[in-house]
Amino acid sequence: MAMKYADIIVDISHENLDRTYQYSIPVELSEQAVIGALAVVPFGKGNRLIKGYIVHLSNEPKWKEDLIKPIHEIVSDGLVIESQLIQLAYWIKETFGSTMNDALKTVIPVKKTVKAKEKKTIKLAESIEAAKEHLEIFKIKNNKGRVRLLEELIKEEAIDYDVVIHKLNIARTTIQDLEKLDIITTDVERLYRNPIQNRTINKEQVHLTEEQQIIVDSIIKEYRENIRGTYLIHGVTGSGKTEVYMEIISDVISQGKQVIMLIPEIALTYQTVMRFYKRFGDRISIMNSRLSQGERYDQYLRAKKGDIDIMIGPRSALFTPFQNLGLIIIDEEHEGTYKSENPPKYHAREVAIKRGQLSNASVILGSATPSLESYKNALEGRYKLYTLKSRIGKSIMPKIWIVDLREELKKKNKSIFSIQLKELMEDRLRKKQQIMLFINRRGYAGFVSCRSCGHVMKCPHCDISLTAHNNGTLVCHYCGYSESTPVNCPSCGSKYIATFGTGTQKVEEMVKKEFPGARVLRMDMDTTKNKDSHEKILSSFANGEADILVGTQMIVKGHDFPMVTLVGILAADLSLYAADYRAAERTYQLLAQASGRAGRGELPGEVVIQSYQPDHYSIKAASEDDYIGFYNQEMAYRELLKYPPAAHILAILIASKDEKKAMTASELLCGAGKDWTSKEGISEETVIIGPAAASLAKANDIYRFMIYIKQSDYDVLIGIKDYLEGYINYSEHFNGCNVQFDFNPMNSY
């Protein structure tokens, strides 16, 4: 049905994206007047003609009808990038549930005037030969920062000051000292265009292996035949996926197209960044979340102007306004960070595929541990699947040992290190090789388990671990079921049943106690609060400044540590009992990625997985490097319980300062959902769960309730969401409540 009115944004880069003007649509333009279309409209008192984009259509006039001016003309060239992005915003709003305004803010770069930053570059002030001599002296003096900086400057002609400070983690004082010694100089206000100027652009490309070459050839062939598709590359860690991406990128940009490459921020380290610079020089730009809005806008502008061909960055880089986008790559596509936590709660993978359709671009997903969603899509033919089975070169997959922690308790070993792990650690410390100890705490929300038999307290209705509350009860955060915390284990009767909790800090203490000579680094939320501490810890470990790195899942990404030959996973179970249905998948991913850290160099690696549940399929499969085995088991479980990707879930978060209000609103919403499904005759196949308090039941004095709706048809869920949105708008019970929709959530609430 043709709409009568259009809301138009006349200044798309303006800070107030929500400032729209309503115009009427002349009948003869009704077909062309679609979301994203570029319209010419009379503006202001003089009715001068200006251009604007249509962002909303309706049949309701906002003013007296004769005050609304008609659209003058629709510019037929609908291919401009803004039109595409507005269409994308509209699709995001419809598919993930949010306001158009939030969707537009996600997609459109917003101009903010920022003070131009002083651009500084560091380079050698002496010859390379002299620098090499200095380097030797600093090595002898064990001056690590100086060594690191000189080593890089011998390789690269000039490096951006910020890169030196933030990515290479050189102290400002080190730079000053070297300046005083006339070894380096800092140039102010050179071109900021590229953070690194290569002494030698690395043209000595690697020779692709046969496995790699087959994938490259196949994707390039289709691309050149103008076939656009979605590809999934399933390649074990270190199998050369990045090399495959670079080869394909190179071909795509040679055809005058542009490329967006998404990498989780945590993996965007100096090592990774340098690899791309070495290959593509100043045709790339890097984005990260630390950029201010103004800096981000500048980056977008460069992309739009065609100054760069490749944008690398986390989720937000997806909206780079390339005019001629040819390819989007998502590395580590299984990563939870690709899902936005704020409305619109979109998943970058889905949006990438949609953007690919709008821009005629292909999409490549890559992972050592693909998400179940993607693997299912690949098996069912929606994505084309490629596999890289072996690691490159001499490095081979590590030997993996599983240790049953219940046996350790029987042997009276109460230490957090099993006997085997301890022996292997001593061995590595003797050999001066490095060790990573890994403890996973994400999603861990106080589950209760038996240290004697491994039994875990679970909800009888949801098969999800119960969460301990301070008042002595155990609560299910899916359905609200609760029971009191048992004194004895219901399975074996032992009294060793308690909440599980071993933090990284405790692990660090234990390491120091049991291995007094070892140098230990710790990396977790606490030690990485500062901007660059994450990179700093990783690079000092890479430089051999410690023997053991203790950390959370953060330590598994983005760095190659050739001297690491032992990885210990202290309690593999922790992630298994996270209160959500993705627990086993996350456990598998974590174990596989953590194991992937061992033996990346020429020395073979070993991995010790400690667990109270060594027979759990996610642990077994990870130890055998059997992704497909894991996939089959896990899919069967999801099918049985109708969890994604076997079906879809819509999570609805209802939040309010007023607990009663939130509760009432949740109940009303739940009722409305049930009414709608029965009216539509689909209540049989639609499961509505809740309302129940969220796992984070109260945050900043705001009460949070959840409703979950399961349905096998995504479009039906969208229908329910649309209905509920309307319901919320017409009911006064939702004043003072915030309602958010989340399709197929990645995290528990």
Binding site for Zn ion (CB under 5 A): 450, 452-453, 455, 459, 461-462, 476, 478-479, 481, 489, 491-492, 494
The CB-of-478 to ligand ADP minimum distance in angstroms stands at 36
Partner from ligand ADP, Zn ion, none binding residue 476, C-beta < 5-8 Å depending on class: Zn ion
CA 516/CA 178 separation, integer angstroms? 35
Q: Provide the CB-side half-sphere exposure for 738 (13 A, CA).
A: 11
Which of 236-244, 579-587, 621-629, 680-688 is the region at the interface with ligand ADP (rule: CB under 6 A)?
A: 236-244
User: Which structure tokens are listed for 297?
Assistant: 């806008």
Q: Which is nearer to ligand ADP, 169 or 212 (CB)?
A: 212
Strand bridging mode 648-656 / 737-743 = antiparallel
The CB-of-91 to ligand ADP minimum distance in angstroms stands at 30
- Should residue 370 be labelled a site residue for ligand ADP when binding is judged by CB under 6 A? no
Partner from Zn ion, ligand ADP, none binding residue 481, C-beta < 5-8 Å depending on class: Zn ion
CA nearest neighbour of 463 among 476, 453, 474: 476
- Should residue 398 be labelled a site residue for ligand ADP when binding is judged by CB under 6 A? no
Q: Which is nearer to ligand ADP, 479 or 567 (CB)?
A: 567
- Should residue 243 be labelled a site residue for ligand ADP when binding is judged by CB under 6 A? yes
Partner from ligand ADP, Zn ion, none binding residue 454, C-beta < 5-8 Å depending on class: none
Q: Is 681 left (phi over 0), alpha (psi -120 to 50) or beta?
A: left
The CB-of-577 to ligand ADP minimum distance in angstroms stands at 29
Q: Which is nearer to Zn ion, 337 or 485 (CB)?
A: 485
Partner from ligand ADP, Zn ion, none binding residue 492, C-beta < 5-8 Å depending on class: Zn ion
Looking at residue 201, the DSSP 8-state letter turns out to be: -
Which of 103-111, 231-239, 260-268, 299-307 is the region at the interface with ligand ADP (rule: CB under 6 A)?
A: 231-239
Residue 735's alpha-carbon distances to 122, 144, 702, 723, in angstroms, are 56, 59, 14, 18
Interface positions, 533-572, toward ligand ADP (CB under 6 A):
none
Residues 174 and 184: beta-carbon distance below 8 Å: no
Q: Which is nearer to ligand ADP, 208 or 635 (CB)?
A: 208
Reported as type and span, the H/E element at residue 284 is: strand 284-286
Those residues with Cβ within 8 angstroms of residue 512's Cβ, 6 or more apart along the chain or in another chain? 518, 520
CA 505/CA 683 separation, integer angstroms? 49
- Should residue 241 be labelled a site residue for ligand ADP when binding is judged by CB under 6 A? yes
CA 184/CA 176 separation, integer angstroms? 9
User: Which structure tokens are listed for 653?
Assistant: 């978060």
Partner from Zn ion, ligand ADP, none binding residue 316, C-beta < 5-8 Å depending on class: none
- Should residue 409 be labelled a site residue for ligand ADP when binding is judged by CB under 6 A? no
- Should residue 593 be labelled a site residue for ligand ADP when binding is judged by CB under 6 A? no
* Size of interface with ligand ADP, in residues (CB under 6 A): 15
CA nearest neighbour of 332 among 592, 73, 530, 105: 592
How would you class 256 by CB atoms within 10 Å of its CB: exposed for 0-12, middle for 13-18, buried for 19 or more?
exposed
Helices (H) and strands (E) in the chain, counts: 21, 31
Q: Which is nearer to ligand ADP, 178 or 216 (CB)?
A: 216
The CB-of-539 to ligand ADP minimum distance in angstroms stands at 17
CA 234/CA 389 separation, integer angstroms? 8
Place of tokens 């560091």: 122
- Should residue 646 be labelled a site residue for ligand ADP when binding is judged by CB under 6 A? no
Q: C-alpha angle 367/372/374, rounded to 5°?
A: 60
Q: Which is nearer to ligand ADP, 143 or 272 (CB)?
A: 272
- φ/ψ of 472, rounded to 5, equals 90, 5
Partner from ligand ADP, Zn ion, none binding residue 240, C-beta < 5-8 Å depending on class: ligand ADP
Q: Which is nearer to ligand ADP, 271 or 499 (CB)?
A: 271
Q: Which is nearer to ligand ADP, 195 or 235 (CB)?
A: 235
- Should residue 238 be labelled a site residue for ligand ADP when binding is judged by CB under 6 A? yes
Those residues with Cβ within 8 angstroms of residue 557's Cβ, 6 or more apart along the chain or in another chain? 264, 266, 267, 332, 593
The CB-of-400 to ligand ADP minimum distance in angstroms stands at 18
CA 229/CA 210 separation, integer angstroms? 22
Instruction: Choose, by CB under 6 A, the member of 98, 242, 467, 711 that binds ligand ADP.
Output: 242
The CB-of-499 to Zn ion minimum distance in angstroms stands at 14
Residues 126 and 182: beta-carbon distance below 8 Å: yes
Residues 239 and 390: beta-carbon distance below 8 Å: yes
CA 284/CA 320 separation, integer angstroms? 12
CA 578/CA 582 separation, integer angstroms? 8
Partner from ligand ADP, Zn ion, none binding residue 489, C-beta < 5-8 Å depending on class: Zn ion
Q: Which is nearer to ligand ADP, 297 or 541 (CB)?
A: 541
For residue 365, the cross-strand partners are 232, 330
Reported as type and span, the H/E element at residue 367 is: strand 362-367
- Should residue 271 be labelled a site residue for ligand ADP when binding is judged by CB under 6 A? no
Reported as type and span, the H/E element at residue 331 is: strand 325-331
Q: Is 736 left (phi over 0), alpha (psi -120 to 50) or beta?
A: left
The CB-of-706 to Zn ion minimum distance in angstroms stands at 12
Those residues with Cβ within 8 angstroms of residue 671's Cβ, 6 or more apart along the chain or in another chain? none
- Should residue 585 be labelled a site residue for ligand ADP when binding is judged by CB under 6 A? no
Instruction: Choose, by CB under 6 A, the member of 169, 197, 239, 449 that binds ligand ADP.
Output: 239
- Should residue 52 be labelled a site residue for ligand ADP when binding is judged by CB under 6 A? no
The CB-of-240 to ligand ADP minimum distance in angstroms stands at 3
Neighbours of 471 (CB within 10 A): 9
The contact mask relative to ligand ADP for 175-214 (x = CB under 6 A, - = no) is: -------------------------------xxxx--x--
The CB-of-459 to Zn ion minimum distance in angstroms stands at 3
- Should residue 75 be labelled a site residue for ligand ADP when binding is judged by CB under 6 A? no
Q: Which is nearer to ligand ADP, 299 or 367 (CB)?
A: 367
CA 352/CA 331 separation, integer angstroms? 12
Q: Which is nearer to ligand ADP, 208 or 520 (CB)?
A: 208
Partner from ligand ADP, Zn ion, none binding residue 577, C-beta < 5-8 Å depending on class: none
Partner from Zn ion, ligand ADP, none binding residue 143, C-beta < 5-8 Å depending on class: none
Q: Which is nearer to Zn ion, 240 or 745 (CB)?
A: 745
Q: Which is nearer to ligand ADP, 237 or 677 (CB)?
A: 237
Partner from Zn ion, ligand ADP, none binding residue 235, C-beta < 5-8 Å depending on class: ligand ADP
Q: Which is nearer to ligand ADP, 72 or 275 (CB)?
A: 275
CA 400/CA 419 separation, integer angstroms? 15
Instruction: Choose, by CB under 6 A, the member of 36, 109, 145, 235 that binds ligand ADP.
Output: 235
The CB-of-154 to ligand ADP minimum distance in angstroms stands at 20
Q: Would you tell me which residues interact with ligand ADP (CB under 6 A)?
A: 206-209, 212, 235, 237-243, 392-393
